[in-house]
Structure 1
């Protein structure tokens, strides 16, 4: 069969042709994506549509709406959650969760942005994609919110009253935003946008301010849906190798059937006239060390794609590393712990934002003057040409690589398209293109383009704002308590009973099972719909001067190299210093180059140079641990020589004597970890509970977990007395780690490129040294620990050691995990408990762990974890439900990954000593799981003889109020 040419426009889709109610309005080849964009308009409703035709089998669909907020109630965030709680055609309580449990989706979610709401899905299976499209289209156009008002109470907010009559607020979005706005960065960002855009939608918190969310009424909630979730306000996106007429017919039917609610026009989305307010303050209840100041400048509008890309390159050149000229100047001024810059795009008026964190005395008064005077100096005297060229090269690499992290290409490109399409119907593809913009920026290097942009955006700005975040005692929690107390004073016993009765009614609705008739409306796939496992090229043991694993994959002209250095040559007390190495390498001078020169050279020649630590284990041995320092590098094939030269210059010649720079870097790392605990405390808590049972987890914790943070904090607090020996210890560590006998190299790319790499690199300048294993990892044992963070919510983890009653296969546990996470835990901890997220996992080593995310309660959540075993033992899912869990589990197993991700997955499997065919064996186990297999796993969860540990990250109030008798309570700030 001839290969399809997606770049060449198809004649049957010419401008003016009609397809299932849509008329093609423009056709634009997109060579950057080897595809073509077909832009359309729905004749009956005015809905917009875009099909990005390309060869990708991981197809995608999204429907989006322009949703500029008019207040801080978070109505569009609550709507995003609520419309996925049942619809006219699919009258079940949680069709979204049913799809997570039972579809072959490779992506399924919804997202609220400052001015839009998006509902994207992706799947490699056409029937599955159409199922997802059908459910999402009915959800947004015919949601059950119109006849089930308690969806609003569950997802938005409601009042509760305890036995003593004390009132409290609860609701999923309310608790999510309490967690989000416990992050000083989020609070500062919102204060800045409020100052920059006092007359437009961007002055409002689109996610919802917890103080304002309880002012939203059900009637206003419905009104906003009626006005904004209309076909005339919709943007439909299709992506990949699909039958466009067939998919458009599905969309056409849904749009034509949309209810005519006659509610009026959507909220306006207008340009803000330039403003230049005085510096303001925002007060926040947080740790004193979280004092920040932000400085933002509007750079223009989203219509100027080249200017936005130029601003991104400019920020990287000025602030991309500690050695960039503006960041170096600010750090040397000693104003704060860290300084960073960020491009805020995907909005009507993009901006650049400079942030100073961990303020010192007088920083607020000096910051703006320092930034603007330095920018004026650079605009006048010229930005270092090598820095601009390096940042431009880095931007080009990132655009060509197109690695979107956890997003499938189709979903990421749907989001990209909205960066211009939302603001101009005639510009749906501006942000899918980049070649013309790159060419213009390269020409502009010789024409002063970047100096001119810096002068216009910062030095001569008429539209900018500055806000300082001031930590204070008390805060929103105290204000909420006072408000609830006032509300209680105005209530009598009858009012309290009404509150309790409504909560009881809500609980009854939440606990009522969906009827078989309602469940039967949902589209389902069967195990018989699953095809064979996708082919996965096996790695090869390549001939080379050093041990080498070859991954001969199509990388589109990019070479990836990972060097794995075994750290079992170290003592356990050395592991925190290995963590320091991973933070410092690549950011300091070498014996050949200054830190600034090295930074420029890396950005010019490499796509990335990363140093990080990870630990490999054995699936059958919790005492085994192989901590490893990984050096990862990537480059375009034409620059592959740098893959040989630069990594070994860094690991072999780094100069650790500049202790001032070392301290800067480590302080930045401490700040980043503290913010991580606030935003991702569930991950930190899971990692900590693993340390109670697993030697590998304890090694990882010493190099990058809580133990590492405590080590780092103490080092910085006693810097003067402890830094003296640091240079020698780090240099000695490098000499022991970076040896030829201690490394395995992984190369991803064509065999010819791999041969050229080794011809150039030889032994990578690694000395031949004897390597003896010295590492002994001490035992820890199960504990009950709390870590106090500045947050109004908690993250609650519970972990169990291995159980003799655990006879389940990895595949059976994978299927049961979906049942526990998306049925029992979702209903108990998220729907009824109000936590934003919850889940269960069972590691391949036999550890069983529960976690919650942005959770208002500790005790209730732990009690629900304890009841999980009984639920699993009595699980009475139908054959169709079990089929759905298996389908979703196998689909997750088979999800496509980028070549670099596949190579890394295979490398990790190798170091964990998994046999060839291990993934195929697990997949076969998943396909053969029975209901009895699932129920049998309850014995391991119920095993009271298994060691149990609890770890909570949360605010001091939550920690002190819960009933856990903690072995230790530690402040992480």
Structure 2
């Protein structure tokens, strides 16, 4: 992506990676840093957004008095000037004149499986909102699934294991990106030819407009649901900036969508999207083509040569100066902020915490066609149906096939529809349809598990009939015989897992760590962790011999799992939607076969370090808190906040140089430390070990303690959209947690004292003493470690 952006915009600021590149950091001077700050971090270069139930006039008056006027006066008094005597102003953001950059290659020291290629096409500028929305919808229609026409052509051409497309927006000149992952030898050379041949066929009459209409419907659903994984205020502010940054008259243009969708629906039959294909892709005068070529070598050689040259030029006094500067830096890192500086920060106190938010009720309805959790959450005209099937009828060694089943359902044909037809129906009629396995745990008994296969679906109220019918058709009538399409899906998952190990290895490390001491962790490993990855690699390596067996196993699993006597439904929507759902066939009307087979092996401590292609490490250390009879209370969450944002932040991030670190503990016993994009391993494990001593001596000032309590409760009270609320309530039900227990936990948070936190140091110390550790990361860092770890080259074992 960085190389593609640099090729598309060689003469503008967009040629640079926004966060900087490590090799450039030593060339940055403090004076340059200060100058850039003065140029850009100025009140007259800022954008303020307000959101929520507030008195706008009172808030604007407050901002003017407490912020805008004082800061404006300070900045006016501190104005800096350039060499010509002009006040420093932000560097202008200019448009790039059209360029065509083909055949750009970049050698990169990385594993061969990271070979990839990308195509980029500039769409226009940020002010062309309707055009940008249209391209986004078009990309979804032609590349959004394995059955989308352009993606299917790329997969069938054998260019790579996976192909994706997305819109790079919120920039001055938005651009469309198509990329190949798991590139074959000649994939990059054929990429643009295959893309443009197929796009030309689509533009010349081959575009199925029902595909585009389905993508339009899907986009409308997303905008109505507005569930972007963040608070509405943040999401809306970011959307506003997509236009506002480049045009003061466009401050609200990206907040509106009804007119755009109405226009695109009317233009659909007039050839608008066919013409868009021609203009944006086939006739483009602003495009780039980039290939990343993996090579062998030492990624650190450049830095080592630079350091050697610097050392050779240093006199004895230079070494003294560097040592003194590092010591001064350490002192600055370790010194607490001055009380007078901290006093300038606005704070809330525990007294400012209001009553707990009132949540919509839910209850188990037993007189429905199947037992049903009925939720009363407001949904903005959307109905949600989650089907939870027991996994007890599946043996432990079959669990990887359960995940495969979830991956392929909805991507294959049925007795009534081809895979392509089904894909269009789902996109056009449902908001989402996904299949996956999930494990619910009992807070008191580690061995009491409730493993479920989940069918997650949602739809606008006018499509409730399809909410019942389409998932039912897929569950009961899928034809698993197309082994080649199953293989496509599995290859894509393998690549996704490998990239996850390298880019978000802390999640993989924490998940695998849990398999050392939690039965639920053992099951999750079989379903989606290292255990499943190893299964997947072996399966793909012998696909031709095993394909028929996989097809048969999937059909058998579907027959065993999808039955009303193994089902609890969770439904959220109006009473009318609820009745229409059952009338349309919400129940499967079949009884399953087979006895309870699932027996979970006991956890085994392994302490592994998995080598993956990355420059950093991700470390995790933890244990089951319940082994020490340490009861769960809300105080544990306050402790997690203090440890994460004080001790670990300073020790692992500020001093150790990791990008992130944290401490987590759950009601179900899991207690764990983690580091994220960490250049160290041994030092980080030592800092994890020091956490209990830090907590045992924890003696914060009253206002500091209140800050931890307030922020913990704020996180606990974070508003959830309907989907998130329903899923959390379902999890509470299957885990045996009542609404009253949630309120009790919240009260315990509010009442937490520093003395209580110090009392938690003991269980943490005992967990550290167990020394259960899992690491994903760089070979050199792992092999240089003194930790007693079983080193595994995960991708090449």
TM-score normalised by structure 1 residue count: 0.79
- Residue aligning to 2:44: 232
d(CA) in 2 for partners of 1:222 and 1:248? 30
Equivalent residue in structure 2 for 1:583, among 407, 415, 438: 407
CA displacement at 1:509 relative to structure 2: 1.3
8 Å contact from structure 1 (residues 890, 926) kept in 2: yes
- 1:647-678 C-alpha deviation (Å, 9 max, x unpaired): 01111111111111110110001011111112
CA displacement at 1:398 relative to structure 2: 1.0
- Residue aligning to 1:278: 102
d(CA) in 2 for partners of 1:970 and 1:317? 39
Matches within 5 A, 1:193-212: 193-212=5-24
- 1:48-83 C-alpha deviation (Å, 9 max, x unpaired): xxxxxxxxxxxxxxxxxxxxxxxxxxxxxxxxxxxx
- Residue aligning to 2:313: 490
Which shows bigger deviation, 209-218 or 468-477? Answer: 468-477
d(CA) in 2 for partners of 1:551 and 1:213? 53
8 Å contact from structure 1 (residues 741, 771) kept in 2: no
Q: Residues 662 and 681 of structure 1: is their aligned pair in 2 closer, same or farther, counting only changes over 3 Å?
A: same
8 Å contact from structure 2 (residues 118, 179) kept in 1: yes
- Residue aligning to 2:393: 569
d(CA) in 1 for partners of 2:479 and 2:268? 33
Any idea what SS the aligned residue of 2:625 has?
coil
8 Å contact from structure 2 (residues 624, 767) kept in 1: no
Q: Residues 212 and 333 of structure 1: is their aligned pair in 2 closer, same or farther, counting only changes over 3 Å?
A: same
8 Å contact from structure 2 (residues 472, 586) kept in 1: no
- 1:122-170 C-alpha deviation (Å, 9 max, x unpaired): xxxxxxxxxxxxxxxxxxxxxxxxxxxxxxxxxxxxxxxxxxxxxxxxx
- 1:900-952 C-alpha deviation (Å, 9 max, x unpaired): 11111000011011234110111111122122111011111122796331111
- Residue aligning to 1:448: 271
Q: Does 1:262 align with 2:80?
A: yes
8 Å contact from structure 2 (residues 624, 669) kept in 1: yes
Equivalent residue in structure 2 for 1:649, among 473, 483, 506: 473
CA displacement at 1:783 relative to structure 2: 2.4
8 Å contact from structure 2 (residues 695, 758) kept in 1: yes
- 1:859-896 C-alpha deviation (Å, 9 max, x unpaired): 11000001111111111112222222111111111111
d(CA) in 1 for partners of 2:321 and 2:8? 43
d(CA) in 2 for partners of 1:944 and 1:695? 17
CA displacement at 1:475 relative to structure 2: 5.2
d(CA) in 2 for partners of 1:915 and 1:573? 33
- Residue aligning to 1:837: 660
d(CA) in 1 for partners of 2:769 and 2:395? 30
d(CA) in 2 for partners of 1:629 and 1:484? 54
Q: Does 1:315 align with 2:133?
A: no
Any idea what SS the aligned residue of 2:440 has?
strand
Q: Going by fraction, where is helix more abundant, 1 or 2?
A: 2
Equivalent residue in structure 1 for 2:252, among 429, 449, 453: 429
d(CA) in 1 for partners of 2:604 and 2:101? 56
- 1:393-415 C-alpha deviation (Å, 9 max, x unpaired): 1111111111111x111111111
Q: Residues 910 and 968 of structure 1: is their aligned pair in 2 closer, same or farther, counting only changes over 3 Å?
A: same
d(CA) in 1 for partners of 2:257 and 2:198? 30
8 Å contact from structure 2 (residues 560, 593) kept in 1: no
d(CA) in 2 for partners of 1:328 and 1:845? 43
d(CA) in 2 for partners of 1:723 and 1:492? 67
d(CA) in 2 for partners of 1:772 and 1:529? 55
Matches within 5 A, 1:89-238: 189-238=1-50
8 Å contact from structure 1 (residues 786, 966) kept in 2: yes
d(CA) in 2 for partners of 1:769 and 1:275? 61
- Residue aligning to 1:603: 427
- Residue aligning to 1:182: none
- 1:607-659 C-alpha deviation (Å, 9 max, x unpaired): 11111111111111222222211101111101110011000111111111111
Any idea what SS the aligned residue of 2:377 has?
coil
- Residue aligning to 2:529: 705
- Residue aligning to 1:241: 53
- Residue aligning to 2:84: none
- 1:343-398 C-alpha deviation (Å, 9 max, x unpaired): 11111111111101111121121111110111011101241121111111111111
Equivalent residue in structure 1 for 2:724, among 875, 878, 901: 901
8 Å contact from structure 1 (residues 803, 940) kept in 2: no
CA displacement at 1:824 relative to structure 2: 0.7
- 1:297-323 C-alpha deviation (Å, 9 max, x unpaired): 111111111100000111011111111
d(CA) in 1 for partners of 2:25 and 2:304? 15
- 1:93-141 C-alpha deviation (Å, 9 max, x unpaired): xxxxxxxxxxxxxxxxxxxxxxxxxxxxxxxxxxxxxxxxxxxxxxxxx
Matches within 5 A, 1:650-669: 650-669=474-493
d(CA) in 1 for partners of 2:458 and 2:758? 46
Equivalent residue in structure 1 for 2:641, among 818, 829, 846: 818
Which shows bigger deviation, 489-498 or 636-645? Answer: 489-498
Any idea what SS the aligned residue of 1:758 has?
helix
Q: Residues 782 and 843 of structure 1: is their aligned pair in 2 closer, same or farther, counting only changes over 3 Å?
A: farther
d(CA) in 2 for partners of 1:216 and 1:225? 13
- Residue aligning to 1:364: 188
d(CA) in 2 for partners of 1:365 and 1:518? 59
Q: Does 1:539 align with 2:362?
A: yes
Any idea what SS the aligned residue of 1:622 has?
coil
Equivalent residue in structure 2 for 1:715, among 523, 539, 543: 539
Q: Residues 510 and 861 of structure 1: is their aligned pair in 2 closer, same or farther, counting only changes over 3 Å?
A: same
8 Å contact from structure 1 (residues 627, 700) kept in 2: no
Matches within 5 A, 1:755-770: 755-763=579-587, 765-769=588-592
d(CA) in 2 for partners of 1:604 and 1:784? 47
CA displacement at 1:335 relative to structure 2: 1.1
Q: Does 1:969 align with 2:792?
A: yes
Q: How many residues align?
A: 783
Which shows bigger deviation, 574-583 or 749-758? Answer: 749-758
Any idea what SS the aligned residue of 1:549 has?
strand
Q: Does 1:330 align with 2:154?
A: yes
d(CA) in 1 for partners of 2:766 and 2:306? 45
Q: Residues 535 and 880 of structure 1: is their aligned pair in 2 closer, same or farther, counting only changes over 3 Å?
A: same
d(CA) in 1 for partners of 2:589 and 2:672? 41
d(CA) in 1 for partners of 2:450 and 2:437? 11
- Residue aligning to 1:918: 741
d(CA) in 2 for partners of 1:376 and 1:299? 17
Any idea what SS the aligned residue of 2:373 has?
strand
Equivalent residue in structure 2 for 1:779, among 602, 612, 624: 602
d(CA) in 2 for partners of 1:880 and 1:409? 30
TM-score normalised by structure 2 residue count: 0.96
Deviating 4+ runs (over 4 angstroms) = 803-806
